[in-house]
Amino acid sequence: MSASGQSQAAAARNLYAAETDTKRLQQRLDVTKYNNKKYAQDIRYQGEVLEFKRSEFDRQAEHSAKAINSIETNLFNQFGTLMNRMVQENMAAVLEEDEIRRSGRSARATAQVNADARGVSGASVDMIAGDISRQEGEALTVRGMNAAATQQQLLLEGQAVKARSDTSIYNLGIQTFAPTPSVQAPAPVAPYQPTQRVKGPSLATTLVSTAGQAVSQYAGLSAQGINPFAI
């Protein structure tokens, strides 16, 4: 192939290589833009997820605070009711004990009056008074046991109320979220290696080839008896 043909072939191959490199570079640029756009979208989405979780935690914290306040208020109200019952039971016990003592005194006084009216005295009268005092003591003992049992029952009810309140607080539904994974930055696009260019024939080779062609043409014309300088 002549030097001119070699130059044209090299130029054509280099032009094709340049067009290929341009397309590959554009493709690399497009991939980089896509990765950056997706990375930005991932970051924005993660920010929205974190904001949702934060607002959800705030909402749950507010709901839990209101629920706990309501439970504690109800607990105090029930405690107040139990304490009021305890006071009422104590007052009733005191009044009943006073009534038992008053009834005992009245019974002993009545027995003494009847004995005096009949002219009875001595051990028999004392036995009647002692029996009345025994019955009075038994009544006071039973009433004291009942009062103690009532107070114990009220204390147990208070403990049950406290346990139910603690259970209600413990069972408050608190939603938790798994940690959000960090957004991974896109991997760098692989570097591009430009296509190697084809070198055409050197200037000296081109001149020599051209000169050789000219000499060959001159020799051919001279052999035919044609003076090429006269053309």
**What are the tokens at 20?**
């290929």
Q: What does the domain layout of the chain look like in residue ranges? A: 8-172, 201-231
* pTM over the 0.75 mark: no
Q: So what's the pLDDT on residue 108? A: 83
DSSP code per residue over 91-119: HHHHHHHHHHHHHHHHHHHHHHHHHHHHT
Per-10-residue mean pLDDT of the chain, 231 residues long, equals 63 76 84 87 87 85 88 91 91 91 88 79 80 89 92 92 89 73 72 63 52 56 56 50
Q: So what's the pLDDT on residue 84? A: 92
Closest by Cα among 93, 98, 101 to 154: 93
Q: So what's the pLDDT on residue 157? A: 92
Burial 134-153 (b: 16+ CB within 10 A, else e): eebeebeeebeeebeebeee
CA atoms within 13 A on the CB side of 203: 0
Q: So what's the pLDDT on residue 123? A: 80
143 with 100: CB under 8 angstroms? Answer: yes
Q: So what's the pLDDT on residue 146? A: 92
Q: So what's the pLDDT on residue 30? A: 86
